[in-house]
Amino acid sequence: MVVNYTKISVARIMTQDVVTVIEETTIDDLLELFGTYHYHSYPVVTETGELAGIISEDIVLEILLFDRLPASGHTHLSAVRSLGDDASGIMMPYPVTVSPDTCLSETADLMLRHHVNRVCVVDSGKLVGILSKRDIVNEICKRRD
């Protein structure tokens, strides 16, 4: 059976119960969150639920190892050092996003083009879900059976 992934929307398989952080979340609280839930990244939202950015474990590792890394090419990390110790200071603003109506094939293409493992799903600026490459692969496997 051939499945048309342009007919399946992100809304059908996205995770809706997303663990998020607010802009004021401290680095210590972020580290605890990474240790507790074992997700690779966390969306950063405003008090009104609007998506502000994303924090990945890569950023956390780079910050923790900042003094051991070569100085060239780390303008974001240098800026982080001066911005403070909360999520708003270390998040990557403007993460890759899709709407709930975006089809899986378009979303997969977007992930590959932007070299990201997950996308935030937003509706009118508000975070409504998250979708990972693993979610898409699982859906493909499920539909093959």
pLDDT tens-digit readout, 9-44: 999 999 999 999 999 998 888 888 888 988 889 999
Is the residue at 33 inside a domain? yes
Is the residue at 2 inside a domain? no
**Three-class secondary structure of residue 50 per DSSP:** strand
CATH code of 98's domain:
3.10.580.10
Tokens of 72: 């060239």
Is the residue at 76 inside a domain? yes
Range of the domain at 116: 10-144
Give me the long-range contacts of 123-126 (CB less than 8 A, separation at least 24).
Answer: 123/99, 125/50, 125/51, 126/48, 126/49, 126/50, 126/51
Is the residue at 5 inside a domain? no
**Three-class secondary structure of residue 67 per DSSP:** helix
Is the residue at 122 inside a domain? yes
Q: Are 9 and 100 in contact (CB under 8 A)?
A: yes
Phi and psi torsions of 134, nearest 5°: -60, -40
Q: Could you report the per-residue pLDDT of 97-116, keeping only the tens digit for each?
A: 999 999 999 999 999 999 99
User: What total of structural domains would you count in the chain?
Assistant: 1
Q: Which of the two residues, 78 and 85, has the higher pLDDT score?
A: 85
Is the residue at 135 inside a domain? yes
Is the residue at 123 inside a domain? yes
